[in-house]
Amino acid sequence: EEWEYACKGKGNRRFPYGSKWNADACNTEDANAEDREMGAAGSFPRCRSPFGVFDMSGNVSEWTASKYSPAAAARTYKGGSATRPNWATRCASRGSASPGARKEDLGFRCCTEPR
């Protein structure tokens, strides 16, 4: 829930930058449904949440600490990647994998409590 809130903000946006998909705002598939390459963090300056967090949509999917379902061992990842279409890069979109699973476009984000 924390990850999704950081992406949506208080206004409950679909994407970190607003409610309408923009193929050029984040590192996702382009408007022609062509994959992009992963890039350096912050390469898409418009891909910023209301809290100022970059790259919560596209580039690489990110592990969260949340279980995918209460009875499952699988964990949730969020954010889509540079190879995913608009529906898969929404703040609410999620996927699952076994703990320790590896994918080329799956990473993690280091976070801390705000001061």
Residue 77, token pair as written in the block: 């990842």
- Residue 66's nearest CA partner among 99, 39, 42 is 99
- Give pLDDT tens digits for 18-59: 999 999 999 999 999 999 999 999 999 999 999 999 999 999
- Residue 28's nearest CA partner among 63, 3, 64, 61 is 61
Strand duo 61-67 + 106-107: pairing: parallel
Q: Is the overall model pTM greater than 0.85, yes or no?
A: yes
Q: Is 109 exposed, middle or buried (0-12, 13-18, 19+ CB in 10 A)?
A: middle
- Give pLDDT tens digits for 86-101: 999 999 999 999 998 9
